[in-house]
Amino acid sequence: MARVTDAPKVVTANRLQDGAVVWLTPAGDWSIRVQDAQVQTENAPVEAALAIARASAARQEVVDPYAVDVAVEAAGPRPLKTREWIRAAGPSIDALPASAA
Amino acid sequence: MSPSAAARQIAPPARGLPSHAGIYHYDQVDRDFLKERVEQFRRQVARRLSGELTEDEFKPLRLMNGLYLQLHAYMLRIAVPYGVLTSRQVRQLAHIARIYDKGFGHFTTRQNLQLNWIKLVDVPAILDLLAEVDLHAIQTSGNCIRNVTSDQFAGAASDEVVDPRHYAEVLRQWSTLHPEFSFLPRKFKIAITGSSADRAAICIHDVGLIAKRGANGQVGFEVYVGGGLGRTPFIAKKLRDFLPEDELIAYLEAVLRVYNAYGRRDNIYKARIKILVHELGIEKFREEVEAEFARMPRAQYRLDPAIVDGIKARFASQPYETLEPISGVLARARLEDHAFNRWVRTNVAAHRQPGYAIATITLKPAGGIPGDASADQLDAIAALAERYSFGEIRVTHEQNLVLAHVRQDDLPALWKALSTIGFGEANSGLITDIIACPGLDYCALANARSIPLAQRISERFADLDRQHDIGELKIKISGCINACGHHHVGHIGILGVDKKGVEAYQLTLGGSASEEGAIGDIMGPALSADEALDAIGAVVGVYLEQRQDGERFLDTLARIGHTPFKDKVYAAH
């Protein structure tokens, strides 16, 4: 089980049809932009958001939702762990081989 | 002209199946099987999308078809049986990458190709396209016998005793959907070679086979078992010195039965056969295998020479020209062009056929991503294979490609063409010929990024004169302890770890995946990426200072020990 921290949280998953990284918005739907994610600062709302996300997974919209720690910045939430900011921003390298650019 | 534009210029329109490419040619039974399998997975995907299957139910089914869910998308791992492809297959892979991915593919240490940006809804259509050219993604994942790997110079190398492709194909047919071995305690990897020089990393596989000839010229196999990397690395131990050809299947059945019966299923980290062999000891393990072997109805499992001959007959042979052993064209070009001569020194190997050579295409341009090739580059390589190597391409476990049958006279033109598409680097076996797993940029299991560090090392040592001066030095990088980047057997190994939420890199020294087989020793505490880069420089510096005439990096390390290297790297800490 993931360690419970005091950091603000957003809920994320991968979209079932294409595997794209998605973030749960305040409207209860999914966005591919982490900036659109609803930031939760209390435990109870995080659980409620996860319940919404699990219901979405049960409707075959997303796979394996979970909450991640973020820092709230002017540009929006920024995931704290390297893994999660790479999920949010995409690979840290050029997608195409350098020689093919 | 950009490499991409050059690649498009080289690649002419697709042609039919190259009739002389040295692959096993499928028959109708093979093709019908693949078609049925694609239809089965199409139905499974539809049931998942409709909700009839949950993710827990669907996951093992997609994994059996090589489909993973990674950080950003689904990843499809396409099997390249024992690393051999035709130009038609490579063109089809390029087409799939262009239409269904982001226009590139990643060759792996398992001689496979991974596509990193796949949509689940597209997978049935992709599998249709793969099946059109006799390709698939079966058994590239799951606790089964995985795609068999082999020597990338098979059937061409001057030092080859037995062509391992024929037996790799026997093993492919035997292991595909084998009902008894579809739910093993853990995955099972077999590698086979037929040469004295081990280019297939036999020593780090669950089973490693060296095909050789007995006193009367008959084919047999030296059998190794229990090699592997990951959390608990082991070099394989010898199980049999000479297993006669006709007993190959029976004996492997016995090995797998013992593993299936005694391998641990309660702890994923102790489930590989290497742990069983280690815990039982090789003598006891051998006793168990021999007892099982003795109990088996051997006639039923006998590998009939007629079957082997039938398989050999389905491999096309190459209509070689009769040529002088040494090409005057090649000799002159080497004298006239220093850069070409340098490429020949590192990237060209001796062929068994007079006047021919084996050319390694390192997918490691300076600062590039190890093992990546764009669709345009793949098309260009397919065209070059048709022009110069009977339409055949090999994939190496070091994430490179090989044209195995090039006329020596054609090497200058081939190198020029490769240079225009960004793959003419003269660095095979050198410090920038780095193995790197996808790491945390793509992989859901990774703890740290591999590719950016590989790129920085490649940039740091880009000077080819310096690389050639350093000589053979193999760097291997894994982004986690699962060791897909083979870091344990790197001359310099680099393991990415998560150090309290920060990426860090642990260095090892002295590993080797060749015939001497060795697991590297950890140098010391993990370093930041910047420090690791400097540490590589420091290690190379000590080697250059200390080496004696003719010594490779591993030779100097063996002579002077690890301390001078450790002292230099950690002096500032």
**Domain spans, chain A:** 9-92
Instruction: Output B476 or A1, whichever has higher pLDDT.
Output: B476
Q: What DSSP character marks residue B271? A: -
pLDDT at position A96: 55
pLDDT at position A6: 85
Cβ contact, residue pair B377, A97, below 8 Å? yes
The answer to whether the CB of A18 falls within 8 A of the CB of A45 is no
Model confidence over B328-352: pLDDT tens digits? 999 999 999 999 999 999 999 999 9
Query: Nearest CB to B119: which of A17, A21, A60?
Result: A17
Cβ contact, residue pair A97, B448, below 8 Å? no
Domains defined for chain B, CATH in brackets: 1-142+326-427 (3.90.480.20), 149-313 (3.30.413.10), 435-570 (3.30.413.10)
Cβ contact, residue pair B70, A19, below 8 Å? yes
Cβ contact, residue pair B71, A100, below 8 Å? no
Interface with chain A: mutation pick from B372, B377, B503, highest number of A CBs within 10 Å: B372
The answer to whether the CB of A99 falls within 8 A of the CB of B423 is yes
How much is the mean pLDDT over chain A? 90
Answer whether A96 touches B (CB < 8 Å): yes
**A90 vs B contacts (CB less than 8 Å):** 72
Beta strands in B126-168 (DSSP E): 149-150
Listed by number, the residues of chain B in 299-318 with a beta carbon closer than 8 Å to a beta carbon of chain A are: none
**A84 vs B contacts (CB less than 8 Å):** none
Model confidence over B310-330: pLDDT tens digits? 999 999 889 999 999 999 999
Answer whether A91 touches B (CB < 8 Å): yes
Query: Nearest CB to B376: which of A17, A64, A100?
Result: A100
d(CA B396, CA B3): 22
Cβ contact, residue pair A95, B503, below 8 Å? no
Query: Nearest CB to B368: which of A90, A91, A99?
Result: A99
Q: What DSSP character marks residue B5? A: H
Query: Nearest CB to B440: which of A18, A63, A86?
Result: A86
pLDDT at position B164: 98
Q: How confident is the model at residue B16 (pLDDT cuts 50, 70, 90)?
A: low
Please, what's the b/e burial string for B299-332 (b: 16 or more CB within 10 A of its CB; e: otherwise)? Answer: eebebeeeebeebbeebbebebeeeeeebeebee
How much is the mean pLDDT over chain B? 96
Model confidence over B436-462: pLDDT tens digits? 999 999 999 999 999 999 999 999 999
Cβ contact, residue pair A100, B69, below 8 Å? no
pLDDT(B416) > 70:
yes
> What is the average per-residue pLDDT within B282-293?
98
Listed by number, the residues of chain B in 76-135 with a beta carbon closer than 8 Å to a beta carbon of chain A are: 102-104, 117-121
Measured between CA atoms, how close is A13 to chain B, in angstroms?
A: 10
> What is the average per-residue pLDDT within B120-127?
98
Q: Which long-range contacts (CB under 8 A, 24 or more apart) does A89-93 make?
A: A89/A34, A90/B72, A91/B72, A91/B441, A91/B442, A92/B441, A92/B449, A92/B452, A93/B369, A93/B441, A93/B451, A93/B452, A93/B455
Model confidence over A3-50: pLDDT tens digits? 567 899 999 999 999 999 999 999 999 999 999 999 998 877 899 999
Cβ contact, residue pair A96, B102, below 8 Å? yes
Answer whether B209 touches A (CB < 8 Å): no
List the structure tokens of A99.
Answer: 């020689």
Cβ contact, residue pair B2, A101, below 8 Å? yes
Model confidence over B19-60: pLDDT tens digits? 777 788 888 999 999 999 999 999 999 999 999 999 999 999
> Strand B207-213 relative to strand B190-193: parallel, antiparallel, unpaired?
parallel
> What is the average per-residue pLDDT within B167-187?
96
| ipTM of the shown complex | 0.93
